[in-house]
């Protein structure tokens, strides 16, 4: 189903990606619809991060293709934005970090300021707007990365293990922000190795195993009873690789 006013769904067909002589993803077909967050889960090395980078266009598949189902985005408007496990911040103020990509997107001064202020308020960093970004704590830096991405008003926000280096309090803050962003209508696609986090956030689960999508299902159904033995083992905490 095409979501009104967005380019979704994002459709990936028969993706194959190899690097260093190793096939990392093979035969991956996936449709990302508008709606609550899609969580990509699976064992270490399953290919979750590579899949996210392909979907975002940071990597190109060796074969297969990825296309948006909806109409073209307005000029200068990025359809997707991505937040990485460890944010890379400019050696500038918190606010300047949010403003910078808005300038690259060609937005006018007043609109840049409006969006930056709203995004910093959303992540609870308004009071730290003039601080040097690189002096923030790890959790604050990740919240800034979320603000910087969300200020671009993407249709789709890719989050690659955004809580991997964070403590429980900072993780909770990031989850609350992700939930608020999703509730406001941005589609979130997120990788995690944390099953508890997947249960808390997912509307839909994609289970990736050794470079293949073994399951894609509504979260409730997936957690109530995975279909494949690999996913069932993963859910009950058995060692799966
Ligand atoms: N550029 C590359 N060259 C060679 N191998 C790579 C490259 N990028 C990723 N890989 C390998 O591909 C596999 C999948 O990597 P990826 O980071 O996508 O896994 P993941 O599911 O995100 O794992 P984790 O949960 O540990 O982050 C890994 O074995 C990784 O070492």
Domain ranges in the chain with CATH number 3.40.50.300? 1-71+155-241
Give the separation between CA 215 and CA 231, rounded to whole angstroms.
Answer: 8
128 secondary structure, DSSP code:
G
Q: What is the ipTM of this complex?
A: 0.94
Instruction: Tell me the pLDDT tens digit for each residue of 198-232.
Output: 999 999 999 999 999 999 999 999 999 889 999 99
Residue 151 CA to ligand 1 centre (angstroms): 29
- 42, 47, 212: which to mutate for ligand 1, most atoms within 8 A of CB? 47
- Identify whether the C-beta of residue 142 lies closer than 8 Å to the C-beta of residue 83: yes
Rounded distance between C-alpha atoms, residue 216 and residue 234, angstroms: 15
Rounded to whole angstroms, the Cα distance separating 176 from 91 reads 27
Across 161-203, where does the E strand assignment appear? Answer: 187-192
What's the fold here for domain 1-71+155-241? Rossmann fold (3.40.50)
At 77, the pLDDT band (50, 70, 90 cuts) reads: low
- Per-residue pLDDT tens digits for 35-76: 999 999 999 899 999 999 999 999 999 999 999 887 666 655
Task: Give me the half-sphere count of Cα atoms (radius 13 Å) on the Cβ side of residue 20.
Answer: 1
Which among 28, 41, 48, 193 is the best mutation to test ligand 1's pocket, defined by most ligand atoms within 8 Å of the CB?
Answer: 48
CA–centroid distance, residue 141 to ligand 1 (Å): 24
Q: What's the pLDDT tens digit per position in 87-131?
A: 999 999 999 999 999 999 999 999 999 999 999 999 999 999 999
């Amino acid at each position: 189903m095409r979501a009104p006013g967005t380019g979704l769904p994002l459709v990936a067909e028969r993706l194959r990606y190899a690097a260093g002589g190793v096939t990392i993803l093979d035969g991956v077909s996936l449709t990302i619809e508008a709606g609550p967050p899609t969580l990509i889960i699976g064992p270490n090395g399953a290919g979750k991060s590579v899949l996210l980078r392909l979907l975002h266009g940071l990597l190109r598949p060796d074969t297969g293709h990825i296309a948006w189902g909806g109409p073209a985005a307005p000029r200068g408007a990025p359809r997707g934005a991505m937040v990485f496990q460890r944010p890379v911040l400019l050696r500038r103020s918190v606010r300047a970090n949010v403003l910078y990509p808005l300038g690259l997107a060609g937005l006018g001064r007043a609109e840049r300021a409006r969006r930056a202020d709203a995004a910093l308020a959303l992540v609870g960093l308004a009071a730290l707007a003039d601080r040097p970004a690189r002096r923030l704590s790890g959790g604050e830096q990740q919240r800034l990365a979320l603000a910087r991405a969300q200020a671009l008003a993407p249709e789709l926000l890719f989050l690659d293990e955004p809580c991997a280096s964070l403590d429980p309090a900072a993780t909770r803050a990031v989850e609350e922000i992700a939930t608020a962003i999703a509730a406001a209508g941005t589609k979130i696609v997120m990788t995690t190795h944390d099953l508890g986090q997947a249960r808390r956030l997912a509307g839909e689960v994609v289970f990736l195993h050794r470079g293949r999508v073994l399951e894609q299902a509504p979260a409730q159904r997936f957690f109530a009873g995975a279909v494949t033995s690999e996913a069932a083992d993963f859910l009950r905490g058995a060692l799966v690789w």
